[in-house]
Structure 1
Amino acid sequence: MVAVQGGVLTATLNRPDKKNAIDTSMIDALLAALERADLDAAVRVVALRGAGGDFCAGMDLQELLASADKTVEENRRAALHFGEVFLRMRGLPKPVVALVQGRALAGGCGLATGCDLVLAAESARFGYPEVQRGFVPAIVMTLLKRSVGEKVAFDLAATGRVLSAPEAAELGLVSRVYEDSDFEEQVAEVLRALAASSASALALTKQQFYQLEGMRFEDGIRLGADVNAVSRTTPDFRAALQAFLKK
């Protein structure tokens, strides 16, 4: 389910009766929403949330069970199809923000981790319990390790323990935690601020941020100089600086 308002495209995982479990149709819908966000200049930020009381409880268990009878190659294609969601989110030159209430588990936790910002209600829960079902958080492990580091990532992936929102924030899985009572008001303010920001500045920020992964210090400084130089030539930079100087 997709809605656009005030520069924010909100994609809602809409299977509340299944705790918004991810099936093939949902993956297709997410890819379509991300493509729409990319092509629509009026969209400045993407928000991802779940319908009902949970963000997402992971992959659809019936589809997973059916995959046990498929070939390795068939399952690889299905896994890559899900992986494409993370590649699209990372490549989108606009911020993608997870709004997490309730449970974000397994692939659902991966969806949240794949976003650029994760805003969580205090009662939200996060975890990668795949090992408890004889499965592996394989696709999302890249995101997990980069977000929280080697030792913490292995702990979460190997034990499947579930974290409270404050615990997840302390470990680096969550950007901000808000009280349940004013969650909607707080996240709306963050989304409004992002939508009002310079689109070119946000795009350059996101691009540089992820390009720095694994880069040598010297190369990172050079990349920063390149981005700095380009940002000075954008219309947004000129307009914002002129407006500031007139104050």
Structure 2
Amino acid sequence: MTTNTAQSEYTSIRVEHESPISWIVLNRPEKANALSNELLEEFSAALEWLRDHGQPVIAIRGEGKGFSAGYDLGQVAPDGAVDPIADRTRMKKNLDRYLAMWDHPKPIIAAVHGYCIAGATQIATLTDITIVAEDAKIGIVTIPVGAGYVSPVWSTLIGPKRAKEIAFVPGNSIDGITAVEWGWANHAVPAEELLDRVRSLAERIALTPSNLLTIKKVAINTAAEAMGIRQALATLADFDALAHTTTEVAGIKKRIANEGLKPVIESYRVPPTTDLSTGYRTDRRIKASQ
């Protein structure tokens, strides 16, 4: 495995090449790979460079204990008044970054382990293929300070009812096995085998010539867009920017300032709604843990 020397100036990601994959590695493990402005800028730059360089398949993974804990709240949820226009512009730019994966000429695989929360799920949703660890935690933030930005992206894969289930309950999440059952991911595999399974898939994909892969991807995307996927993503930043200006969100931020972040998180913490299913796949989970 080699790191692309042309991208050696990156500080929040790494780009690594091992035939037939070029990896984009989210590399802020000390911050749970939180999506800072710097990381997102580097992510976009790497995607653009890889259009004409690197290996025929791109894969994205996180360094350390998880894929990513989502947006860096120190940057995206500052104290004080919110400028709704700047807020909307920032979020629209992020959606455009992820749509750049959709529009990218190369197949892109997300390899999700550990945790994949909030904005990180937008990345994994809009890759071409997603492979998850069976025990991965995939969900939204615990404190309800946004609306209409993350979970609608899920709805393009899992439908409106399940997207609402995820969105309505603070901190709701699913595991890797459920992610496949819901249609959010392609495969759930043992965590220790995740990268090897991604490599195996990439080797099979790379047997198809790159130009044909591009045509196949565009053809499938065109069919999906005819069903409204791109249109569905067009106004999400508007809804979340509106949510950030509400008195309720201002009140939650005030609670955080007065009480501290951890106590406020605990006040919203409830079990994931997957425990509502009768006999909830117990046999499968016992088997997965063996």
Structure 2 length normalisation: TM-score?
A: 0.69
- Of the three residues 29, 33, 47, the one matched with 1:34 is 47
| 1:153 and 2:163 matched | yes
**Structure 2 match to 1:64:** 76
CA–CA distance in 1 between the matches of 2:166 and 2:206? 33
In structure 2, relative to structure 1, the CA distance for the partners of 1:153 and 1:39 (3 Å cut) is same
In structure 2, do the counterparts of structure 1 residues 137 and 59 end up closer, same or farther at CA, with 3 Å as the change threshold? farther
Rounded to whole Å, the distance in 2 between the matches of 1:83 and 1:180 is 28
Task: Indicate the residue corresponding to 1:118 in structure 2.
Answer: 130
| C-alpha distance in structure 2 between counterparts of 1:29 and 1:214, whole Å | 27
Secondary structure, in 3 states, of the residue corresponding to 1:66?
coil
Match for residue 95 of structure 1? 107
Aligned letter for 1:59? Answer: Y
Distance of 1:68 and 1:152 partners within structure 2 = 34
Select the residue among 78, 81, 95 that pairs with 2:93: 81
For residue 153 of structure 2, the aligned residue among 114, 125, 143 is: 143
Q: Give 1:54 deviation, angstroms.
A: 0.5
Give the alignment's Cα RMSD to 1 decimal.
1.8
What's the counterpart of residue 174 of structure 1?
185
Asked if residue 208 in structure 1 is aligned to residue 219 in structure 2, the reply is yes
Choose the corresponding residue for 2:195, options 167, 180, 184.
Answer: 184
The 3-state SS of whatever aligns with 2:146 is coil
Quote the offset at 1:69 in angstroms.
Answer: 3.4
Structure 2, gaps ≥5 residues long: 1-13, 228-290
Q: Distance in 1 between matches of 2:80 and 2:132?
A: 34
Percent of aligned pairs with the same residue? 25
Deviation of the 1:193 alpha carbon: 1.8
Q: Which portions of structure 1, spanning 4 or more consecutive aligned residues, are displaced by more than 3 angstroms? A: 67-70
2 CA distance for matches of 1:13 and 1:205? 28
Deviation for aligned residue 1:125:
1.2
Matched-pair contact (CA < 8 Å) for 1:45–1:94? yes
CA deviations on 1:44-77 (whole Å, 9 max, x unpaired) are 1111100001001110011123275341111122
Contact 1:27 1:81 in 2 (8 A): no
Q: CA deviation at 1:120?
A: 0.9
Distance in 1 (alpha carbons) for counterparts of 2:220 and 2:26: 27
SS at match of 2:166: helix
Displacement of 1:133:
3.0
- The separation in 2 between residues aligned to 1:209 and 1:154, in whole angstroms, is 26
- 1:106 aligned partner: 118
**8 Å Cα contact 1:4-1:10 kept in structure 2:** yes
Distance 1:90 1:106, change over 3 A: same
Which of the residues 12, 31, 37 maps onto 1:18? 31
